[in-house]
A and B are shown apart, each in its own frame.
Chain A
Amino acid sequence: GDSVTQMEGPVTLSEEAFLTINCTYTATGYPSLFWYVQYPGEGLQLLLKATKADDKGSNKGFEATYRKETTSFHLEKGSVQVSDSAVYFCALSAGGNTGKLIFGQGTTLQVKP
């Protein structure tokens, strides 16, 4: 079945460091891909998305490119801030009922001043 695999955390970085969180997926068909972020004690918020191959999603300095050839959707940010500390989830929607998302296990990011 469809699945999403993320790099294990926690990831600890200093402020202004470069961030990469790896995400790969397995799916039949052509899924849409998402990154959601969960701040402590809160629900998930959509960070960015891409709906077809080679699309780049971007928001708040974060970017991810839909790579069909490598089945990947890695999250990057050039310069992280303490406020970016959160849990990041990669997810896919296989189409049809797009509310049925398959999530990765999440990657905790800690940014230190």
Chain B
Amino acid sequence: NAGVMQNPRHLVRRRGQEARLRCSPMKGHSHVYWYRQLPEEGLKFMVYLQKENIIDESGMPKERFSAEFPKEGPSILRIQQVVRGDSAAYFCASSPPTGGTGELFFGEGSRLTVL
């Protein structure tokens, strides 16, 4: 499967724990985006990364959230000290280096539940 791969698909955490969500972009894609979908809402942009660089993090909460896309390995979205309001579906998307068309290729999402 050459699509965007996210794991885990489902993650349950208790308040105060850490959540780590992983995303491997499509082969040949070097741009990664993270979006959050709260229940009954549309997707909200969080962060845009290229290899080893954060390009735009204007949608990231100021505290507890961080993202990286290392030279080797998947992109990671990390949420520290989770709270109930972090319960959501987190979608990763990728696009090729040339960009331009605006088409994003989405993974199936990671659904975080905070107890």
Determine the chain B residues whose CB is within 8 A of the CB of A49 once the complex forms: 101-103
Residues of A whose CB lies within 8 Å of any CB of B are 4, 32, 34, 36, 41-46, 49, 51, 89, 93, 97-106
* CB-CB under 8 A for A43 and B102, given A99-B31, A101-B45, A105-B42: no
Q: Which chain A residue has the least Cβ–Cβ distance from B31?
A: A99
What is the interface size of chain B, counting residues whose CB is below 8 A from a CB of the partner?
Answer: 26
Beta-carbon contact of A32 and B42 below 8 Å: no
Determine the chain B residues whose CB is within 8 A of the CB of A102 once the complex forms: 45
Beta-carbon contact of B109 and A43 below 8 Å: yes
Main secondary structure of the interface of A (DSSP, over half): strand
Sampled A-B contacts (27; CB under 8 Å): A4-B42, A32-B102, A42-B108, A43-B4, A43-B106, A43-B108, A43-B109, A45-B106, A46-B103, A49-B103, A89-B42, A93-B102, A97-B48, A98-B95, A99-B33, A99-B48, A99-B93, A99-B95, A99-B99, A99-B102, A100-B48, A101-B43, A103-B42, A103-B44, A104-B42, A105-B41, A106-B41
